[in-house]
Amino acid sequence: MAILITGGAGYIGSHTCVELLNQGEELIVVDNFFNSKPHVIESVKEITGKSFKFYECDVCDEGALETIFKENNVESVIHFAGLKAVGESVAKPLLYYKNNILSSVTLLGTMAKYGCKRFVFSSSATVYGVPDSVPITESFPLSAINPYGATKLFIEEICRDLYNADKEFSIALLRYFNPIGAHESGKIGDNPNGIPNNLMPLLLRAACGKMPHLSVFGNDYPTLDGTCIRDYIHVTDLARGHLCALSEIRKNTGCNAYNLGTGKGYSVLEIINAFEKANDIKIPYVFAPRRAGDAAQCYSEPTLAKEKLNWTAKLDLVEMCRSSWNFCHRRLAGE
As annotated, the active-site residues are 148
Distance separating alpha carbons of residues 332 and 314, to the nearest angstrom: 26
Give the dihedral sign, CA 255/82/239/19: positive
Q: Give the three-state DSSP class for 194.
A: coil
Distance in Å from the first CA to the final CA of the chain: 38
The Cβ of residue 150 has, within 10 Å, a number of other Cβ atoms equal to 21
Q: Which is it for the CA torsion 106, 110, 115, 119, positive or negative?
A: negative
Cα gap 153→149, rounded to integer Å = 6
Task: Give the C-alpha separation, 211 to 249, whole Å.
Answer: 43
**Closest of 186, 182, 209, 187 to residue 315, by C-alpha:** 182
